Amino acid sequence: MSAERLVIERLGARGEGVAWLGGRRVFVPYALVGETVTADVDGDHARLIDIVDASPLRIAPICPRFGDCGGCAVQTLRADAYAAWKRGLVETALANAGLKLGVAPLVDAHGGGRRRVAFHARFDSGAAHVGFMAARSHRIVEIDACPLLAPELGGALNAARAIAVILAARGKPLDIAVTATLGGLDIDLRGAGPLDDSETGALIAAADAHDLARLTNHARLVALRRAPHIDIGPATLTLPPGAFLQATQSGEEEIAARVLKATEKAQSIADLFCGVGAFALRLARRAQVKAYDLDAAAVAAMRAAAQAAQGLRTLDGAERDLFARPLNASELNDFDAIVFDPPRAGAAAQAAEIARSAVPAVVAVSCHAQSFARDAAILLKGGYVIREITPLDQFRYAAHVEIVAVFEKESRRKSAKRRLLG
């Protein structure tokens, strides 16, 4: 490791400053474009020592832990430049995939803050340390609070600490996932393994003391005091343990609004990688929806919510592994529109089948710019055109961006144009 003077040329995909040293790229966390810095360089990464010449775009961070805690990548960049950087993540991913496409301005979808959080607990000589990981490290940065969390998660950290203390004797790394629900905090533990009677009793007492709605261990029930409900459009849904949700309520609503608008003329819709039905339950107000996901518990929860809701049209949910067995083009042609929201890895196999189909409208939702760009290229090659690409920021200060893109089959556009021209 050596101390070097570096000039930052750009921000990378992880929010790190990128400089050149001896013909190789060096990544410097927390440095900004145009800054001259000194840093301890170790291979292609460096630790920031000092800012010799600061960027005029540099502002004060909102959190005293910024620079140590790895939860945030970019807090010190002025708002307009920050929005341009996040939008640029999508533009760069598209360009790297050989696509020259317009990207709309970034939409702020942080709202009231994140409604779910994962704390990490590590143990040293029986003492519990709870917080977030340091950047590029497994070291725990203990925190008193996080300014990015929704107020409903106000008691999450104290509850997580109490749980970690109970399980400290195990010495196993522990992840504590907390979700804010209408019934209170819903916590799922990962890493503890099977619990003994003493630990179970202590955790039940902790759930009472911290007024938790539910506590599960690897999705197995430990304590249930109130149902962990959330509202999705017209439905009220009981969350399966550890279920996926969009990070913020505002983010879910912003994405759903764009999905609904893009499919407003469709009477029959396929919702692929549907999860608990964030889109399907809303779409079913005015269309017949078939929703598919590998997560059987999520699909069951969605179906139960739909059955209890008023005013929905048909919503049929099915468990299906869309990676191993994507809906083929023939199956897809039964629908007027398709919505797909895959995990970070994207959905190359499913996108290939969509590209072969004749479905007139497709909405792609993604949390990973690179896999989105790859899937978009597949659809474009199959005859789709893009109507719009909108980046949304519900992971404020992190190097993640949500994307909603609307596609239309080119053959349908040409047919409509011919009709208009007579």
Q: Is the dihedral of CA 127, 128, 132, 138 positive or negative?
A: positive
Q: Three-state SS string across 329-377, please?
A: HHHHCCCCEEEECCCCCCCHHHHHHHHHCCCCEEEEEECCHHHHHHHHH
Do 271 and 322 fall into the same domain?
A: yes
Report whether 187 contacts 220 (CB < 8 A): no
CATH number of the domain to which 162 belongs: 2.40.50.1070
Rounded average pLDDT over 147-152: 97
Report whether 308 contacts 260 (CB < 8 A): no
Do 154 and 222 fall into the same domain?
A: yes
**What's the total number of domains in the chain?**
3
- Residue 131 located in a structural domain: yes
Tell me 55's DSSP state. -
CATH number of the domain to which 46 belongs: 2.40.50.140
- Residue 252 located in a structural domain: yes
Question: Which residue range is the domain that position 272 belongs to?
Answer: 95-110+248-421
* Boundary residue ending a domain (230, 265, 299): 230
- Residue 213 located in a structural domain: yes
Rounded average pLDDT over 303-326: 96
Do 120 and 100 fall into the same domain?
A: no
Kind and range of the H or E run holding 302? helix 296-308
* 70: exposed, middle or buried (Cβ count in 10 Å: 0-12, 13-18, 19+): middle
Confidence of residue 410 (pLDDT cuts 50, 70, 90): confident
HSE, side-chain direction, 13 A CA sphere, residue 378: 20
Kind and range of the H or E run holding 299? helix 296-308
**Whether residue 420 has pLDDT greater than 60:** no
Rounded average pLDDT over 190-214: 97
Do 256 and 225 fall into the same domain?
A: no
Question: SS3 of 220, please?
Answer: strand
Do 192 and 303 fall into the same domain?
A: no
pLDDT for res 412: 55
Confidence of residue 328 (pLDDT cuts 50, 70, 90): very high
* Boundary residue ending a domain (230, 257, 281): 230
Q: Which two tokens stand for residue 75?
A: 């807090």
Do 136 and 40 fall into the same domain?
A: no
Higher-pLDDT residue of 399, 419: 399
Rounded average pLDDT over 64-75: 94
pLDDT for res 405: 98
**Whether residue 418 has pLDDT greater than 50:** no
- Residue 86 located in a structural domain: no
Rounded average pLDDT over 409-413: 69
CATH number of the domain to which 300 belongs: 3.40.50.150
CA distance 68 to 210: 29
Do 134 and 104 fall into the same domain?
A: no
pLDDT for res 411: 67
- Closest C-alpha to 15, from 89, 66, 107: 89
- Residue 301 located in a structural domain: yes
pLDDT for res 135: 82
Do 183 and 327 fall into the same domain?
A: no
Residues 235, 402, 300: CA angle, nearest 5 degrees: 30
Q: What is the pLDDT of residues 361-371, one digit of tens each?
A: 999 999 999 99
Do 276 and 368 fall into the same domain?
A: yes
Do 252 and 103 fall into the same domain?
A: yes
Q: What is the pLDDT of residues 259-292, one digit of tens each?
A: 999 999 999 999 999 999 999 999 999 999 999 9
367 carries an active-site annotation: yes
- Residue 299 located in a structural domain: yes
- Residue 67 located in a structural domain: no
pLDDT for res 419: 40
Catalytic-role residue among 69, 72, 274, 367: 367
Do 51 and 189 fall into the same domain?
A: no
- Residue 237 located in a structural domain: no
Rounded average pLDDT over 157-181: 96
Do 337 and 259 fall into the same domain?
A: yes
Give the N- to C-terminal CA distance of the chain in Å, as an integer: 72
Q: Which amino acid is at 149?
A: L
Q: Which two tokens stand for residue 92?
A: 């760069």
How many C-beta neighbours within 10 Å does residue 208 have?
A: 12
CA distance 36 to 410: 49
pLDDT for res 416: 43
Question: SS3 of 145, please?
Answer: coil
pLDDT for res 125: 84
